[in-house]
Amino acid sequence: MKKVTTIILLVCVSLSYAQKKKINQEVKKTPVDMNAFIDELMSKMTLEEKVGQLNLVSVGFDITGPIVSQNVEEKIQKGLVGGVFNTFTPIAVRKLQQMAVEKTRLKIPLLFGFDVIHGHRTIFPMPLGLAATWDMGAIEHSARIAGDEASADGLNWVFSPMVDIARDPRWGRVVEGAGEDPYLGSLVAAAMVKGYQQNDLDASNTVMACVKHFALYGAAQAGRDYHTVDMSERTMMQDYLPPYKAAIDAGAASVMTSFNDINGVPAGANQWLIKDLLRKQWGFDGLVVSDYTSLLELIEHGISADEKEAALDALLAGNDMDMVAEIYLAHLPQLVKEGKVTEEHINFSCRKVLEAKFILGLFDDPYRYADEKRAQQILFKKDYRDAARDIAGKSMVLLKNENNTLPLKITGSIALVGPLAKNQRDLIGSWSGAGDWKQAISVEQGLRNAAPGLKINYAKGANITDDTLLIKRLNAHGGNLEIDDRSAEEMIKEAVEVASKSDVVVAVVGESQGMTGEAASRADIGIPGKQLDLLKALKQTGKPLVIVLMNGRPLTLPWEHANANAILETWFAGTEAGNAIADVLLGNYNPSGKLPMTFPAHVGQVPIFYSAKNTGRPHNDQLLDKYKSRYLDVPNEPLYPFGYGLSYSPFTYSDVKLSASEMKEGETLTVTCTVKNEGSRDGEEVVQLYVRDITGSVTRPLKELKGFQKIMLKAGETRDVQFKLSANDLAFYRFDMSWGTEPGKFIVFVGGNSRDTKQAPFTLVE
């Protein structure tokens, strides 16, 4: 075991937006002081009115759970509602806001929240696709546009970003996050918060971000939504919590607790999670809200005996606001009378809600987000669609390109086949909220827009699925599956005929948007339905086969990888999906995306991620040793590793050079690698830096991402890419759970993905 060298880290906790607002007011000599204002307001409030501020109700067009709030107008007028979920548009928001500020005793305005996940009206690639850009500027820009549109559409609070680390692609909500890695996930989380809030929540074109789901939701057992989470403290702190902390440090003004239990206690009733970790250790001073009816679900978890006890458990744990369940409204006043809850508990949470409203400027102008003229000017404007197209292109990952099958020629003919080739609804993905799928550009339309001289021969070829039970389940939740009544054989026959008279086959296949997202876990993560049969029949024609994938999770693609000539992962790319896909297929954009999550070769490998431990009996797939950590029937290696992605330009890497062979605490090690574009096209490459700590007081991962740079290289250009490694990059939670480094041997890796790297050793000395 190594001798421990301690690093003393000075952690600078970000100022809350309440603190920033107060500072700004003092600088401007504004007469209104937030604390004094809220003190005076709360002195006038009854207990029932204070509890009313903790009540978040659902009204509107998009109900995401089984309970719809009742008698909302009456409750608003009695001052028993603090915020409204699922209502947007300036007209609808103004109507409800008028009830609050014109018909209530104290005229306290409402918050208006909505699931703005990857765009509001203009839809960007799904969050996992955004992460695949490895471009923090682009990700922040997408959130900035989403915030601009949402605030113009009556909203001031968005339930995003989702920052849950996920390493099991069976879980449907991997679509909403940034994948498996805490370093990449932390950068994405911070970029999203900055995009929404712009460090200025007093501006009418910004919105309050809500970090979710706190915490560890992405580690649900068996990849099944809402399931139990059980992990060691070290794994929690090292791998799963960093993105939440990064979002808090970026200034996120609110946090949403998760559905799952943690160490046997559901997040909504977990005092350690909310009070100790979030508030005391991390210094979070904003608003904490539950997820949809999750406080009511404390009963089903077996923590609370009834609604009244659930309200007690949740409030004492630190949940300020109750989303939709309305158990606070029903039971907190009585709990105060019984002495089980003090009015100080109510005051604390009420103050957090009122602070959020103050910070957003709602007490100055409750209608500042209900401007119809601004909505007409802002929503869905051309600049935003152009940005959506650009970012969608950056999100796409070229998984295979045998013999330069891509890019396609803009003349000749193609067979455009597959259930997603003409599809619009699925392009904007799950959690597309206010997005209008009828505005989405299909792949067929995108190709026609980009290459009018290209002859397109179309056949659907297959349904996304023919499973009648699955179809019913999906359509019951707005899946809108388009099902062709013809037999699978008839549809495949037509597709083969179309392929036989074309130069190349482009098969657009994958999942429907309803197969990913909340309550959309899948045990089999291959391409569903008869689509694989379709691909096999198309392969038999002998024509080059290009597979265009649409999906919200990593898929198992062993046959596809072995048999397709080219595979392009496009995720659910948003409003401009078809145009962006055409840009890549035709070579107008050189693909640069990299996988933010490992693609397994077989579902039996799950969970699979690049930063796994070595084990005491590591297995090399090239060897036949029996007593090793391996499977008998499939290899250990994934199909596509984390960070993987090809380009139309081949990039080569030189050997890694280090500025020194030894590094001391307080020093910086410079890592240099020369990257060359060997192709005839300009292209972007994500140069990735990984580190391995060879020995430690606890076992360490095989690799950990510690840096990356996305660079543009002209055809034939060579560039030295440098990284600076500090002691903090080598720190971890040691045996005693202290954070710091240990002296010893390390290996640094540089490459275009987590598998294919160049490496060099160095030593950290005392």
The residues assigned a catalytic role are 291
277 membership: H or E segment, kind and range: none
The conformation of residue 294, written as its DSSP 8-state character, comes to T
The conformation of residue 665, written as its DSSP 8-state character, comes to T
Contacts of 659 (CB under 8 A, 6+ apart): 669, 670, 671, 672
Complete DSSP assignment for 444-496:
HHHHHHH-TTSEEEEE--S-S---HHHHHHHHHTT-------S-HHHHHHHHH
- Contact criterion met (CB below 8 Å) for 252 and 288: no
Where are the extended beta strands (E) located within 243-329? 254-257, 261-262, 265-266, 287-289, 322-323
Distance of CA 741 to the CA centre of its chain: 30
Paired with 599 in beta bridges are: 640
> How far is residue 497's CA from residue 541's CA, in Å, rounded to a whole number?
9
Per-residue tokens: 93: 């928001």
Inter-axis angle of helices 34-44 and 343-359, nearest 10: 130
> How far is residue 189's CA from residue 352's CA, in Å, rounded to a whole number?
23
Distance of CA 231 to the CA centre of its chain: 21
Find, among 224, 324, 216, the residue nearest to 265 by Cα.
216
Per-residue tokens: 539: 């392969």
Using DSSP's 3-state secondary structure scheme, residue 355 falls into helix
Angle ∠(312,314,317) on CA atoms, nearest 5: 105
- Contact criterion met (CB below 8 Å) for 44 and 64: no
- Within a 10 A sphere around the Cβ of 653, how many other Cβ atoms? 18
Find, among 559, 598, 589, 547, the residue nearest to 753 by Cα.
598
Find, among 500, 535, 331, 333, the residue nearest to 419 by Cα.
535
> How far is residue 365's CA from residue 371's CA, in Å, rounded to a whole number?
11
Pairing relationship of beta strands 566-569 and 397-401 according to DSSP bridges = antiparallel
> How many Cα atoms are found within 13 Å in the side-chain-facing hemisphere of 679?
16
Per-residue tokens: 261: 């239990």
Burial of 17 (C-beta count, 10 Å sphere; 0-12/13-18/19+): buried
Using DSSP's 3-state secondary structure scheme, residue 255 falls into strand
- Contact criterion met (CB below 8 Å) for 625 and 186: no
- Contact criterion met (CB below 8 Å) for 432 and 119: yes
Helices of type H across 360-405: 372-378, 382-395
Provide the residue count of the chain: 766
> How far is residue 728's CA from residue 740's CA, in Å, rounded to a whole number?
7
Find, among 413, 420, 423, the residue nearest to 531 by Cα.
420
> How far is residue 62's CA from residue 112's CA, in Å, rounded to a whole number?
14
> How far is residue 197's CA from residue 203's CA, in Å, rounded to a whole number?
9
